[in-house]
């Protein structure tokens, strides 16, 4: 099982002071800084000096590879589902099945680590082709809430996906995102998660360093 990585979610930080918030998290022991990207802000990465774990919820991730690479992103995680908005305003999701290998190749060419994310309603089997084929992704992000905003309740039923991935891919980096805190970290760690994204439970804590340490210990004990 890979080394534990704790990634505070900058979605829960003080947006007016991103650089100082990033420095505070690194000082508290964070390994990564998790960046949720729904619209692109080209200068953000230049403010930081840490591993930037970027989770993209966008319609065409290929368009974001070059600008994020130039901005200094470290990891580039795209969704296996891609949204499409029709004229009536209805949003549907379809699976990335055609150009993912080109996308992964482009991500790597810019020096970033490719990963794939899946929403709670998507079967875990949908990411297997991206792990078993040529030029596979290096990380899977299992969403434990519906993506889009922070503060949601952890969905323990998503741990079945984590267990399935850990059994099939023992050395894979498996990330979980949504509702992770002191009361849920053990469930995620025991299921096999190695990368932990935590937002309000870290940024809202009186002692963020203690929360980060607790999460790391839980993952290490579960190995």
pLDDT computed for residue 90 by the predictor: 47
The CA angle 90-96-101, to the nearest 5 degrees, is: 155
57 neighbors 91 (Cβ within 8 angstroms): no
Known catalytic residues? Answer: 36, 177
The CA angle 116-131-196, to the nearest 5 degrees, is: 45
Structure tokens belonging to residue 152: 């949601």
CATH topology of domain 5-222: TIM Barrel (3.20.20)
- Which own/partner contact pairs does 51-57 have at CB distance under 8 Å and 24+ positions apart? 51/75, 53/7, 53/77, 53/175, 53/195, 53/197, 54/112, 55/117, 55/141, 55/147, 55/177, 57/83, 57/147, 57/148
pLDDT computed for residue 223 by the predictor: 82
2 neighbors 173 (Cβ within 8 angstroms): yes
pTM: 0.90
pLDDT computed for residue 86 by the predictor: 39
pLDDT computed for residue 147 by the predictor: 82
8 neighbors 36 (Cβ within 8 angstroms): no
Mean pLDDT by 10 residues, the chain (223 residues): 95 90 96 86 61 90 90 92 50 54 93 96 93 93 86 92 98 97 97 97 97 98 90
């Amino acid at each position: 099982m890979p080394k534990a990585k704790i990634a505070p979610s900058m979605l829960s930080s003080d947006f007016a002071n991103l650089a100082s918030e990033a420095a505070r998290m690194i000082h508290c022991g964070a390994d990564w800084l998790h960046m949720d990207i729904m619209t692109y802000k080209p200068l953000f990465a230049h403010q930081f000096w840490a591993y930037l774990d970027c989770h993209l919820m966008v319609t065409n991730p290929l368009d974001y590879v070059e600008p994020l690479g130039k901005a200094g992103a470290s990891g580039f995680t795209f969704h296996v589902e891609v949204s499409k908005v029709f004229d009536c305003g209805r949003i549907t999701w379809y699976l990335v099945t055609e150009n993912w290998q080109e996308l992964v190749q482009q991500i790597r060419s810019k020096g970033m680590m490719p990963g794939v994310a899946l929403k709670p309603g998507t079967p875990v089997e949908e990411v297997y082709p991206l792990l078993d084929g040529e030029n596979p992704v290096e990380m899977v992000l299992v969403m434990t809430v519906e993506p889009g905003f922070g503060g949601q309740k952890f969905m323990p039923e998503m741990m079945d996906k984590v267990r399935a991935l850990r059994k099939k891919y023992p050395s894979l980096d498996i990330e979980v995102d949504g509702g992770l805190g002191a009361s849920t970290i053990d469930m995620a760690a025991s299921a096999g998660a190695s990368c932990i994204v935590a937002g309000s439970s870290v940024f809202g804590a009186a002692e963020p360093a203690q929360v980060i340490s607790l999460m790391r210990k839980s993952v290490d004990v579960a190995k």
